[in-house]
Structure 1
Amino acid sequence: MATAERQDSRTVLVWLPVVVMAVVAVVDLTAGPGVGFLPLVSLGPAFAGLAGTWRRTALIGAVALLLCVALGVYDGIFETRRGYTAMASVAGVTVAGVAAAVTRGRREAELAGVRSIAEVAQRVLLRPVPRSAGPLRVAVSYTSAVAEARIGGDLYEVVASPHGVRVIVGDVQGKGLDAVETAAVVLGAFREAAHDEPDLTAIGARLERSVARELNGEKFATAVLAEVRADDRTIVLLNHGHPAPLLVRHDGSIDFPRPPAYALPLGLGVHGGDPPMPYQVDFAPGEQLLLYTDGVTEARDGAGDFYPLGERAAGLLKETDAQAALETLREDVVRHAAGPLHDDAAMLLLRYHRH
């Protein structure tokens, strides 16, 4: 929808110079030379400089200048200074419009370069997750709160390790490039630890050390870690101050398996407190676990009400494809917010597929 609106706005700006000059010409011919509408022909190249290239702006300026001369001759105003003043106005605005178009073109090229770098950064930081891992089908959704951004402060990863499928979903403090830096630290440590460490407790401790060492206690990240082993029919969770996952049972019932005790987020271990304790939850074939960030549950509608995830998540049972089910849920969150989200929203869906 936003893309269509931007396309419509650009189409209006493209045709606006021609329409404006045509209107000025008609009004000038109708009202006569005494009204003094002729200098308004310069609005053509002025509007052209807003959206067109410098070549198109110069072309519109040349057309405006010819139109000014034709109308000036028809009105007979070249016998006074008015005709030459109108031509000077059109020429001056054309030069200014060309200069503005050149500057805007350079900035757009720079922005395109920055976006391409951001896309590479996203592929490195938030790599595509596997569609299947062990007994699981996996789907992921990420919606950035920053317009046109494709990366932000939420993170996720799925690693098929010798110890089982390890998963992380997290939300780092802050926004922008600082948040991306923190997310990179957490993901880098998790990807390495997920292959090496024997259990989630050791992975969590390793993440805590990495975040504390790299960020000097100035940043933190909430995160929930999960581990699924083949034929175990349980999932092990480790929660570092993150919203509890959502579990969809066979019969469509919803549960939010909460930790026995809440622990501090990653990076705040230096302030004391007990480390998080892992806990097991029954997880059988045909059931689904949704890990998400608070950008989902804190999405507000026009009345200020939060998104009712527990009520809407039953829709995950309606789609046979995991990615299609998660995309339907994401669209529902966006509709509830009735506009851009105020925080990044990441969701990762795990479907226990086979025995």
Structure 2
Amino acid sequence: MLTALTLALIVLIAVVDILSPPDIHLGPLLIVAPALTASFAGPRATAGIAVLAFAALTVIGTVRDSLTSSNIQTQLGAQLVVSVLIVGLRVLRERHERELARVRSVSEAAQRVLLRPLPERIGPLHLASVYLAAEAEAQVGGDLYAAARTATGTRLLVGDVRGKGLSSLGDAALLLGAFRAAAHLHADLPDLAAYLDGSVSWDLAQLAEQSRQARLRRPSATDGAEESGDSGDSGESFITAVLLDIPDDGSPVRLIDCGHPPPLLLRPGGITALAARHPAPPLGLGELAPTRYEVESFPFRAGDRLLIYTDGVIEARDGRRRFYPLTERVTAWRAERPAALLHHLRRDLLAHVGGRMDDDAAMVVVERLP
């Protein structure tokens, strides 16, 4: 359809130019046809339209008996040069689009491997999740979530790596791998939290040592400045997380909060923030401050819903630098099923920030079925 319109435009310009007085020249407008084609078609179609536009300008010069005039020859030369540039730019654009498609394909594969979609149903629970990455064209970043079945129930992990975007993928992958390997091996939730903290601490220590060795190998002219900023690196990386153990038999849910925003318990009577009385430090800081993990318990009855989220949600700002009012917005949709609730929150959150997140954000809703 659009190609037909560009062809009609070429014919229209040529006919009007031929019928116009001798001192009126509309032939240069023919370059609009290949320029428009490049916006919706590939290089071959663009080149084809450019050839037709050049032929139409040649016909105009022939009909007007001025093909040998300097005016027509200048128009033909200019149109040829501009057409070649348009086709060349369209070739570069198509190459970029192919590269972008490959990047998106890799990103989608990484998301499927690293951040596996939560099952819609696991045991007596109904789950839904949503992820919003801060990096342009990325689908994953430093926020994470995972679920694992145990002999008596389901364990959930929601975390947030310090930093954002693709640079935090390694730490997220480490924690997710450690959780999936150990969630069903440790009977006590504090033992699992301690294991995850040890795994993260060891890996971050290895990364800090590798970074220090790499900096020591750099030219001596920059050693002083770089070493001065190296002392705090190992203690600046950490992962906030919340661990949940949800028994199948309806027993109280057990929770350990490692510096993470408190989950919201949604009930017909209202919304309750499950703020831990004894929060633990973020994962990766256990060696700096040895921790005895305290378990918080709360009832989670049939029909109740849990909203677990990362700080990218509550710290999202609008154009006036106002934070996203999560609790206020959840109140309007708390009766919705998990997937519908997250659909409303995702749309509302993106509208609040103007369509672009400054930080990664993840949300998980858990509903206990009757």
- TM-score clears 0.5: yes
- The whole-number CA distance in structure 2 between the counterparts of 1:152 and 1:24 is 52
Q: Please tell me the residue identity of whatever aligns with 1:66.
A: A
Residues 1:103 and 2:57 are matched in the alignment? no
For residues 129 and 90 of structure 1, the distance between their equivalents in structure 2, rounded to whole angstroms, comes to 56
Show CA shifts across 1:298-318 (max 9, x none): 233344322222222234442
Equivalence for 1:188: 177
* Contact 1:28–1:37 (Cα < 8 Å) also in 2: yes
The alignment-based identity, stated in percent, is 40
Q: Does 1:125 align with 2:114?
A: yes
Deviations 1:248-269 (A, max 9, x none): 13x3311111112333222233
SS in 2 for 1:79: coil
Which whole-Å CA distance do the structure 1 matches of 2:348 and 2:301 have between them? 27
SS across alignment from 1:224: strand
For the residues of structure 2 that align with 1:110 and 1:228, how far apart are their CA atoms? Answer: 44
- Matches of 1:236 and 1:33, distance apart in 2: 88
Query: Is this contact kept in 1: 2:165–2:359, CA < 8 A?
Result: no
Q: How does 1:250-265 map to 2 (within 5 A)?
A: 251-265=268-282
Pairing of 1:307-346 with structure 2 (within 5 A): 307-319=324-336, 321-346=337-362
Contact kept? 2:154, 2:247, Cα under 8 Å? yes
CA distance in 2, matches of 1:281, 1:16: 66
Conservation of the 8 A alpha-carbon contact between 1:292 and 1:348: yes
1:241 to 247, 259, 268: 259
- For 2:149 and 2:51, the matched residues in 1 are separated by 64
Per the normalisation by structure 2, the TM-score is 0.82
Query: Structure 1: how far apart are the matches of 2:316 and 2:165?
Result: 19
Select the residue among 69, 87, 107 that pairs with 1:80: 69
The reply to whether residue 297 of structure 1 matches residue 286 of structure 2 is no
Q: Which moved more, 1:181-190 or 1:15-24?
A: 15-24
Q: Which whole-Å CA distance do the structure 1 matches of 2:6 and 2:256 have between them?
A: 61
Distance 1:177 1:125 in 2: 12
What secondary structure, in the 3-state scheme, does the structure 2 residue paired with 1:177 have?
helix
AA of the residue aligned to 1:248: L
Alignment of 1:108-257 (within 5 A): 108-216=97-205, 217=234, 219-249=237-267, 251-257=268-274
Q: Matched residue pairs, number? A: 341
Partner of 1:57 in structure 2?
46
Counterpart secondary structure, 2:157: strand
Shift of 1:38: 3.0
Q: In angstroms, what is the RMSD of aligned CA positions?
A: 2.7
Offset of 1:110 from its aligned partner? 2.0
Contact map agreement 1:263 1:273 (CA 8 A) in 2: no
Instruction: Provide the secondary structure at the position in 1 that maps to 2:183.
Output: helix
What is the rounded CA distance, in whole Å, between the counterparts of 2:271 and 2:19 in structure 1?
72
Choose which of 298, 310, 329 in structure 2 pairs with 1:281: 298
**Distance in 2 (alpha carbons) for counterparts of 1:66 and 1:172:** 61
Amino acid at match of 1:305: R
The one-letter code of the counterpart of 2:239 is A
| 1:353 lines up with 2:369 in the alignment | yes
Equivalent in the alignment of 1:3: none
**Post-superposition offset of 1:20:** 6.9
Flag structure 1 segments of 5+ consecutive residues without an equivalent. 1-10
Give, in whole Å, the separation in 1 of the partners of 2:22 and 2:165. Answer: 57
Alpha-carbon distance in 1 for matches of 2:12, 2:135:
39
How far is the alpha carbon of 1:338 from its aligned partner?
Answer: 4.1
Alignment partner, residue 222 of structure 2: none
